[in-house]
């Protein structure tokens, strides 16, 4: 009854198709699939406002939760302020508590339209720390926006500079000239020494033991544009001693993989930086997930308090190339 499999929403949907689906007895707030997401939740993210409005008319409880969040929360998180207005006008509650205190309304206060929901209850707002985190987000997003990270490994480390990172890794800092000799590669005599992409011959070498490290305000970034090495357990434990580090590997096969290291220990793994937060995530992580959705590099930097001015620490060339000791850095 009301089979949802044939209802298309990803391209905005079709009002006629949705009306026919509803006429067959469908309930937009009924859970479906392993995640329990409802069609109302899916429409909040993907559908055109007029399609969502038709679903709202047929929904008894617009505040139905799936994965701990309402359809209105999904619309706000996805940046669909048009759909957020549709849901709110239909009766969805912007201030319903959920997601570790981040109601749709509070989440909206961190974005470009803080007055999206005008009837804010007395005393509801952002803490000074939350407001500061939100205020810093646009600059960080802009610094590392639109990057193709497929195959790249990163480790963002708080309060550790590049020199100390090399020492902790027991690595050898090397110049590009050293690397040319080390790999027995000849330089194109016509190449421009000032070309910022001149180092990319290293992507053909793809040495798993070669990483780059760059100082940024707040700490340093370890990067490997061709592999996962920076976020391996041995590297993460060494660089996080006395501090915190967030690792990312943009796995071309399975998506962005995140890990957290604190004081020399791996404390979280199998994370999804830049993706939707888990229902039981702490409030601080939910805020970061909202501010840096779709931007795993910015999320990792923000998680540990780094403030890069541009994308170079992530994409290269780094301040320093480092050859790591020849061992298996994946050992747990």
pLDDT in tens, 204-258: 999 999 999 999 999 999 999 999 999 999 999 999 999 999 999 999 999 999 9
pLDDT tens across 279-308, in order?
Answer: 999 999 999 999 999 999 999 999 999 999
Looking at the structure, tell me whether residues 233 and 275 fall in a common domain: yes
Looking at the domain assignment, is residue 5 inside a domain?
A: no
Judged against a pLDDT cut of 80, whether residue 264 lies above it is answered with yes
Looking at the structure, tell me whether residues 260 and 229 fall in a common domain: yes
Looking at the domain assignment, is residue 250 inside a domain?
A: yes
What CATH number does the domain containing 81 carry? Answer: 1.25.40.20
Looking at the structure, tell me whether residues 161 and 304 fall in a common domain: yes
Looking at the structure, tell me whether residues 115 and 147 fall in a common domain: no
Q: How confident is the model at residue 139 (pLDDT cuts 50, 70, 90)?
A: very high
Looking at the domain assignment, is residue 8 inside a domain?
A: no
Q: Which residues contact 72 (CB under 8 A, 6 or more apart)?
A: 44, 62, 63, 84, 87, 88, 92, 93, 94, 104
pLDDT tens across 268-279, in order?
Answer: 999 999 999 999
Looking at the structure, tell me whether residues 171 and 318 fall in a common domain: yes
Judged against a pLDDT cut of 70, whether residue 17 lies above it is answered with yes
Counted domains in the chain: 2
Q: How confident is the model at residue 186 (pLDDT cuts 50, 70, 90)?
A: confident
User: What's the chain's average pLDDT?
Assistant: 94
Looking at the structure, tell me whether residues 172 and 285 fall in a common domain: yes
Q: How confident is the model at residue 1 (pLDDT cuts 50, 70, 90)?
A: very low
Q: What pLDDT does 194 receive?
A: 58
Domain containing residue 284:
141-323
- Please answer whether residues 61 and 72 qualify as being in contact, where contact means their C-beta atoms are separated by less than 8 angstroms: no
Judged against a pLDDT cut of 70, whether residue 191 lies above it is answered with no
Looking at the structure, tell me whether residues 119 and 65 fall in a common domain: yes
Please tell me the distance from the alpha carbon of residue 38 to that of residue 41, in angstroms, as a whole number.
5
Q: What pLDDT does 37 receive?
A: 87
Looking at the structure, tell me whether residues 106 and 236 fall in a common domain: no
Looking at the structure, tell me whether residues 204 and 314 fall in a common domain: yes
Looking at the structure, tell me whether residues 201 and 108 fall in a common domain: no
Looking at the structure, tell me whether residues 244 and 279 fall in a common domain: yes
């Amino acid at each position: 009854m009301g089979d949802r499999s044939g209802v298309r929403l990803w391209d905005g949907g079709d009002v006629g198709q949705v009306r026919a689906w509803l006429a067959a007895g469908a309930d937009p707030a009924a859970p479906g699939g392993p995640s329990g997401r409802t069609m109302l939740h899916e429409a909040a993210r993907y559908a055109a406002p007029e399609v969502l409005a038709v679903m709202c008319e047929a929904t008894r409880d617009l505040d139905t939760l799936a994965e701990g969040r309402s359809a209105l929360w999904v619309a706000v998180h996805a940046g669909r302020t048009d759909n957020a207005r549709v849901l709110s006008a239909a009766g969805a509650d912007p201030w319903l508590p959920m997601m570790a205190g981040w109601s749709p309304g509070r989440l909206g206060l961190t974005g470009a339209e803080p007055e999206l929901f005008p009837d804010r209850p007395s005393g509801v707002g952002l803490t000074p720390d939350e407001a500061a985190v939100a205020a810093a987000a646009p600059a960080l997003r802009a610094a590392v926006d639109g990057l193709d990270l497929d195959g790249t490994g990163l480790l963002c480390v708080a309060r550790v500079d590049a020199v100390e990172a090399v020492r902790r890794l027991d690595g050898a800092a090397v110049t590009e000239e050293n690397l040319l000799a080390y790999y027995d590669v000849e330089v194109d005599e016509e190449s421009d020494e000032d070309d910022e992409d001149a180092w990319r011959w290293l992507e053909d070498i793809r040495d798993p033991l070669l990483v780059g490290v760059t100082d940024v305000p707040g700490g340093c970034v370890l990067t490997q544009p061709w592999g996962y090495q920076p976020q391996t357990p041995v590297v993460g434990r060494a660089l996080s001693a006395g501090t915190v580090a967030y690792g990312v590997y943009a796995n071309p096969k399975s998506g962005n993989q995140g890990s957290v290291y604190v004081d020399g220990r791996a404390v979280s793994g199998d994370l999804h930086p830049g993706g939707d937060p888990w229902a039981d995530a702490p409030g601080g992580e939910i805020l970061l997930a909202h501010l840096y959705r779709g931007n795993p590099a910015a999320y990792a930097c923000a998680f540990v308090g780094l403030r890069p001015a541009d994308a170079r620490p992530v994409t290269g060339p780094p301040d320093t190339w480092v050859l790591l000791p020849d061992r298996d850095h994946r050992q747990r």
